[in-house]
Amino acid sequence: MSTLLMASELWHADGLWIIAIGALTNTACALVGCFLVLRRMSMMGDALSHSVLAGLAVAFAMTQSYSIVPLFIGAIAAGLLTTFLTQTLHQYARVPSDASMGVVFTSMFALGVIIIKKFVTGVHFDIACVYEGALGLTPFFTREIAGREIPLAVLTIAPVLLLNIGVLSLLWKEWKVSSFDPALATTMGFSATLLHYVLMALVALTTVASFEAVGSILVVAMLIVPAATAHQLSDRLAPMVIVAAAVAVLSSFLGYVIAEYRNTNYAAMMTVVAGALYALAVVFSPRHGLLTTLWKNIQLSLRVVKEDLLAMLYRVEELEAAQPLTPAAAREALGGGWLPLVAAKMLQRRGRIRLENNAVQLTKKGRTAARKLVRSHRLWETYLVEYLGLPLDHIHEPAHRVEHFIDERIRGKLEEELDASAGDPHGREIPE
């Protein structure tokens, strides 16, 4: 990879502009996207990115020009209208919220198409361009600023990014509380509805500013994917927003490099990279990742099997005419498979059990540990009979499950409640 990355044809000025424009756009989307994800409104990004077309079309038709300010105003108006209609339909016509969103954004999108076809002359409406954007072409449309040629796309998206950062810092605590607990925010005087509309206006604006450069696929993806990735990786709001921005920038960079080598569409590749980063986060996230969960589950299963083995050996010792337990029989009794093997190895290494004449036996240390487990088990059985009134043949299984989770504290409480010296309900001794 390092030799690939050093290849000189990759790092021409246009390439750097493409990365920069991608990064600016993606970051602008990711910042507002965090709050969409946290409010469980991810699909609202998709909806707005379509319905703004109606606003753009009206702005086009009225001004017959591409000037940016009317377009922005049109987009914000369309965004607010979508939000309003979606909520109103949901609230007053009692349409389910996903259906009302689906109805509103598709209608407005279609309306936008009709207005463009009917009233806007001289516009080439290219659907592929709407989806893919024209990121590769952005470096060629420039304006001279202070003696330097700056791509127009930068001049469009940079102010929007700054606006997003500005509003985010200004309304940080307001958005935080109203996203977490809208009712509380409202009782404090921070109207959750008002804050919702401000967010939606920003989403609409960001969408439109991003459209031309990166197309709708990347916009919808960048509103959600970096934020969802960051949600996997962070437990605090500020780090989440920063991680989301970092994922957005990283996707632009890697997306550009891979697209160059594969000679394909930049925006689509950036989206694919973002999706891949999300998948990585889902699998490898240190706290909630699949791998961590799997590891924790294995650890737990292993502990249960180890404890079951110890308790089993203790019970064998208790029997008067004890048949020694062979490794094969022990493995069989613990359900077979690889877990008992690993468990036995670990217990052996820690000096809890030993193997003598093809018989598994407890060491002194092992016996102490086993005694505690059996004590927990029998205390729990006693508790079930005395306090829950369960019959004798119903108590072994639940106690078998619970014994692994009874710590010193709970054992102490059971000892206070019960008379351990009287033995368990089956008449066996409760070991000290």
Partner 1 sequence: MSVPAVEIHDMTVAYQRRPVLWDIDLQVPEGKLVGIVGPNGAGKTTLIKAALGLTPLASGKVEIYGKPYNEQRHLVGYVPQRESVDWDFPVSVRDVVLMGTYGKLGWFRRPGKSERETADRCLEQVGMLPLAKRQIRQLSGGQQQRVFLARALAEDAQVYFLDEPFAGVDAATESAIVELMQTLRSDGKTVFVVHHDLQTVRDYFDHVILLNMRLIACGPVETTFTNDNLQKTYGGRLTILDEAAEAMRQGDSIR
Q: Which residues bind partner 1 (CB under 8 A)?
A: 38, 40, 94, 170-174, 176-177, 179-181, 183-190, 231, 234-237, 239-240
92 vs 338, beta carbon nearer partner 1: 92
The least distance separating partner 1 from the CB of residue 287, rounded to whole angstroms, comes to 8
The least distance separating partner 1 from the CB of residue 184, rounded to whole angstroms, comes to 6
145 vs 184, beta carbon nearer partner 1: 184
6 vs 183, beta carbon nearer partner 1: 183
The least distance separating partner 1 from the CB of residue 389, rounded to whole angstroms, comes to 21
107 vs 234, beta carbon nearer partner 1: 234
The least distance separating partner 1 from the CB of residue 300, rounded to whole angstroms, comes to 17
186 vs 326, beta carbon nearer partner 1: 186
In SS3 terms, the chain reads as: CHHHHHCHHHHCHHHHHHHHHHHHHHHHHHHHHHHHHHCCCHHHHHHHHHHHHHHHHHHHHHHCCCCHHHHHHHHHHHHHHHHHHHHHHHHHCCCCHHHHHHHHHHHHHHHHHHHHHHHCCCCCCCHHHHHHCCHHHHHHCEEEECCEEEEHHHHHHHHHHHHHHHHHHHCHHHHHHHHHCHHHHHHCCCCHHHHHHHHHHHHHHHHHHHHHHHHHHHHHHHHHHHHHHHHHHCCCHHHHHHHHHHHHHHHHHHHHHHHHHHCCCHHHHHHHHHHHHHHHHHHHCCCCCHHHHHHHHHHHHHHHHHHHHHHHHHHHHHCCCCCCECHHHHHHHCCCCHHHHHHHHHHHHCCCEEEECCEEEECHHHHHHHHHHHHHHHHHHHHHHHHHCCCHHHCHHHHHHHHHHCCHHHHHHHHHHCCHHHCCCCCCCCCC
The least distance separating partner 1 from the CB of residue 36, rounded to whole angstroms, comes to 14
124 vs 409, beta carbon nearer partner 1: 409
The least distance separating partner 1 from the CB of residue 157, rounded to whole angstroms, comes to 26
